[in-house]
A = this chain, B = another copy of it.
Amino acid sequence: MSLYVMKFGGSSVGDIERMKRVAGRIADKQDEGHRCVVVVSAMGDTTDELIDQAKQLNGQPPAREMDMLMTTGEQISVALLSIAMSGIGRSAVSYTGWQAGFRTDETHGRARINDIDPRRVLESLERGQIVIVAGFQGMTVDGEITTLGRGGSDTTAVALAAAIQADVCEIYTDVDGIYSTDPRIVKTARKLNEISYDEMLELANLGAAVLHPRAVEYAKRYQVKLVVRSSFNHNEGTVVKEEASMEQGVVVSGIAYDKNVARISILGVPDVPGVLAQVFGKLAGEGVDVDIIVQSGVQDGKADFSFTVALSELAHAKKVIEGLHSELPYREVTSEDNLVKVSIVGAGMVSHPGVAAQMFDVISKEGVSIKMVSTSEIKVSCVIESGNLQKIIQALHTAYNLDTEEQAFVGGPKDRR
């Protein structure tokens, strides 16, 4: 008998029929002899509808009140799922985030979990009940209701799994698991049986929307064994854990891409100390996240440098740079918005030098030029023109021996939380 935490996202409980299917799924797990704690998100579009109503009343609704509003979505889900469980003869109990013991800081809208007191959850398990906990929410020491922000329900599941020392934390979603790359782009993409926390973290940060990086960090910190699997079928899914038992000989585990990339270049900048700090300090102060930064060599006391920002922030970032002109006498600012960032990720890279060189070689053999490069211990990213995305991902996928014969399963819309 194992203790499972099972997390179901909003699309998995999007309507009454899906809710029933999830209830059946949990009952199956219990029938296998396991104890179950379930974490659920708000149903389908509930959250968007609530936000829409709030915006009609107030263009800038206070974060505290938005938390009061939004947390009802998960409370409805847990109550209905508990009602569904008892409808099929199972003893179940639902808890809000605060009832389940989630104590957070006071940052409404994106609160951090301070600690979890899972006493009531454990007591209910003792009584043989299936425990259903609202994801995405908690309470401050002053009794204020908070939400955990993006990735909040995944984080709830992982943190709760750590707090109650669950054997496994299963993340049910609308895809079969973690893929070697996006199956919509590469038909021969293969589902990974295992992946390390670090690899998952890189993939999640690179835009693989299946798991939120925050939840992966939490899982890594508390060594929670994660399984990502589909709520629509019984396929095995992907195990995320420490790398010790990783598959042998795999250098690159997955290939990710990010279309939300734009490049800004500042040309002819005086090469004096503190210039980079000035530019990127200003951008950070304006809330613009910068990803890759490349500085060219200095000529005649002037340097060029380029960096990437999210495409959606390009206009804002350019305005910030233009506003700096009086203090920073650069020659010219240019930008490009038809870009994509392709990344290879693999824990095996650490011990295999030359992986980056191989990537550059594959890309150049396809006649595509690399605009920018960035590397980490287990990742190499190249920025290329977006028109080449499919060709390059396919070529890399084949070059790193990731192709499979199977046809990938790709489900419905991605879960938001």
Contact indicator A64/B87 (Cβ below 8 Å) = no
Q: Using known A-B contacts A57-B16, A58-B87, determine if residue A64 contacts B80 with beta carbons closer than 8 Å.
A: no
Q: In the complex, A50 Cα to B43 Cα: how many Å?
A: 13
Q: Who on chain B is nearest to A73 by CB? A: B72
What residues on B are CB-neighbors of A99 within 8 Å?
Answer: 143, 145
Contact indicator B79/A94 (Cβ below 8 Å) = no
Contact indicator A69/B79 (Cβ below 8 Å) = yes
Which of B16, B54, B76, B83 makes the CB contact (< 8 A) with A62?
Answer: B83
Q: Using known A-B contacts A53-B16, A84-B57, A86-B58, determine if residue A93 contacts B64 with beta carbons closer than 8 Å.
A: yes
Contact indicator B75/A72 (Cβ below 8 Å) = yes
Residue interface bits A55-84, CB-to-B below 8 A is 1, else 0:
011110110111011011001101110111
A200 close to B (CB within 8 Å):
no
A120 close to B (CB within 8 Å):
yes
Contact indicator A75/B83 (Cβ below 8 Å) = no
A160 close to B (CB within 8 Å):
no
What residues on B are CB-neighbors of A87 within 8 Å?
Answer: 57-59, 61
Contact indicator A68/B78 (Cβ below 8 Å) = yes
Contact indicator B57/A20 (Cβ below 8 Å) = yes
Q: Using known A-B contacts A59-B87, A61-B86, A120-B143, determine if residue A80 contacts B53 with beta carbons closer than 8 Å.
A: yes
What residues on B are CB-neighbors of A340 within 8 Å?
Answer: none
What residues on B are CB-neighbors of A216 within 8 Å?
Answer: none
A residues with a Cβ closer than 8 A to B are 16, 19-20, 23, 50, 53-54, 56-59, 61-62, 64-66, 68-69, 71-72, 75-76, 78-80, 82-84, 86-87, 92-94, 96, 99, 120, 143, 145
Nearest 9 pairs between A and B by C-beta?
A: A58-B87, A69-B79, A68-B79, A72-B72, A57-B84, A61-B83, A65-B82, A58-B83, A16-B56
